[in-house]
A and B are shown apart, each in its own frame.
Chain A
Amino acid sequence: MTAPEDRLIIKLPTEVPDMGTDPLPIEPYISADFFEKERTQVFAKAWLNVGRVDEIPNVGDYLVKRIEVLNATILVVRGKDNEIRAFHNICVHRGMQVTAAGCEKGNAQGFMCGFHAWVYDLEGKLTHVPGKEYFPDTDFDGLQMPPVTLEIWKGFIFINDQEKPKKGLVEYLGGLGDDLRGYPFETFNHIARYRANVNVNWKTFIDAFHEAYHVAEVHKNTIPDGCNSPDNPNAVPSSARIYPPHHAVSVPLNSAYVPTPAAALAWKFGASFAPGDMVDLEGLNPSGDDNWWFDINTLFPNFFIDVGPGWYFTYHFWPVSVDETHWEMNIYQLEAKTAAEKIAQEHTKVLLRDILYEDLSTMEQTHQSMKSRKLDSMIVGEMEIAVRHQLYEVMQWVDGKGCME
């Protein structure tokens, strides 16, 4: 057994808030009352990512995002002036949505409500009302779909439910945004999207993705030795950076990792998610760790951007209720110019996807156990600093002490 004084040190280059060392209470992960507070105190105040500008490259391109936790359906549109704007997908007449049921994206010259054919332009303004003369008491001037506050950072589109958020997006992202600023997100291609609806609280879901302690067991069939090495058998993070309310964790690399034949081919041809040669990109490994694999970046409250050498991927964790979360993963890679690079990319996709099947496997059993209320608290170790910080921030925000107050 390793003596406590022999344990590996996690570099913590930023100031860490006093989060205590007690076990974490279970109640916030299962309480419907607490969830209602998260709705108004966290999700209604934080900047939330709804996509990337590359998803809507042309004038008239739009995205429709259903955000259950805000009880909102948001329309994100590229206007005639090439500006991207967001509106609530609501016809000002009697509230019908102006896009067809189930529509997630499209291209339009404007929007027509499918109820009474009221028409809106790409800037959200009401431009046509059939039978307008039968509304003698209505002033139609300036009517438009309710606007949503929107800002863009590095091509990532964020919305905010507040008309005037306390902090702009760049200020909100703070040191985490600074660390990632140089990463060439705009040069990557979107190569995969996965989704699942899981019966688990959004925080329990998130907590499986910002520690590597679970890798040896949960990922024993796919990549058990990616970060677990003889020198670091528990995959202790090499560094963690706390930029309240966000944080980042750097995952260590097992330098003795022996690639499978397919992984070896991928690295010969291009880049794989499996450990291999490091491609030096700005914005990676901000703490300059030895044996570095990739950085997990948790953008509070529910968005991850994990960056690596030649690939990055994102996770969205959208709460539906206290007991249900809609999850989405998107994978991006540098453009494949040759068949060889395309074959290599397929390896990253397949490996990540199969890893995710493993990650998602623990969720519902954990949530069911929590709901039994047989445990009041859960034990969280130093390697799980991000788990502790996530709940710490949520509690701060719910108590009215978040950074957007």
Chain B
Amino acid sequence: MSGQLPGGFAELEAFVEQWDLITERERHTTRLTAPIEQSNALYDALLPQIEPIAEYLADFDINALPAPEQSLLNLALSFMEVSLTVECLKSPTVPGGFAFERFEVLF
């Protein structure tokens, strides 16, 4: 798949299929169930891009983003979702934490 992100961010296209998710619940479920290598790859690719993404999206109304821009924002939100896994936990789930199957994320 190509052409789903705004032009300047074409190198992130590879992450769209897995991480272009609109709700926190979807992003969280993906992080919990994906192998950590996939979270690491997203994190590494997005970290240097977060500031350019924020700068690029500053010209748009965030409540009415066109589809490519919304996808870009969703990737940035997925970056934050995996940030704990990559930076702190070194694990998709919280080590020693409450069972995620019993923890309900409503939004």
Contact = CB atoms under 8 A, between A and B. Distances in A.
Contact of B104 (A191, A195, A223, A268): A195
Contact of A194 (B60, B88, B93, B106): B106
Given A195-B106, A196-B102, A357-B98, 14 more contacts: A192-B24, A192-B106, A192-B107, A194-B104, A194-B105, A198-B102, A221-B94, A265-B51, A342-B62, A346-B81, A349-B24, A350-B28, A358-B98, A361-B98
Closest CB pairs A-B (n = 7): A357-B97, A262-B83, A339-B57, A360-B98, A346-B80, A340-B54, A357-B94
A340 B104 contact: no
Interface residues of A, number: 39
Nearest to A351: B84
B97 A338 contact: no
A269 interface: yes
A221 B76 CA distance: 23
Interface in A89-112: none
* Residue of A266, A340, A361 contacting most chain B CB atoms (<10 Å): A340
Contacts of B107: 191-193
Interface of A: 191-198, 221-223, 260-262, 265-266, 268-269, 336-340, 342-343, 346-347, 349-351, 353-354, 356-361, 363
20 contacts: A192-B105, A194-B103, A222-B94, A260-B88, A262-B83, A262-B84, A338-B57, A338-B62, A340-B57, A340-B58, A343-B50, A343-B76, A346-B76, A346-B80, A349-B80, A354-B84, A354-B89, A357-B94, A358-B98, A361-B97
The B interface is mostly helix, strand or loop, or mixed, namely helix
Contacts of A262: 79-80, 83-84, 87
B96 A339 contact: no
A266 B93 CA distance: 22
Given A221-B88, A336-B62, A196 B83 contact: no
Contacts of A261: 47, 83, 87
B73 interface: yes
* Residue of B47, B73, B100, B104 contacting most chain A CB atoms (<10 Å): B104
Interface size class of B (residues with CB under 8 A): 35 or more
B5 interface: no
A405 B60 CA distance: 57
A353 B102 contact: no
Contacts of B96: 221, 358, 361
Contacts of B100: 357
B91 to A, nearest CB: 8
A106 to B, nearest CB: 16
A198 B98 CA distance: 10
A351 B80 CA distance: 9
A204 to B, nearest CB: 14
B54 A221 contact: no
Nearest to A268: B51
A223 B89 CA distance: 10
B53 interface: yes
Contacts of B103: 194-196, 356-357, 360
B55 to A, nearest CB: 8
Interface in B34-64: 47, 50-51, 53-54, 57-58, 60, 62
B58 A338 contact: yes
* Residue of B76, B80, B81, B87 contacting most chain A CB atoms (<10 Å): B80
A196 B88 contact: no
Contacts of B83: 260-262, 347, 350
Contacts of A197: 102
A222 B88 contact: yes
* Residue of A262, A343, A347, A353 contacting most chain B CB atoms (<10 Å): A262
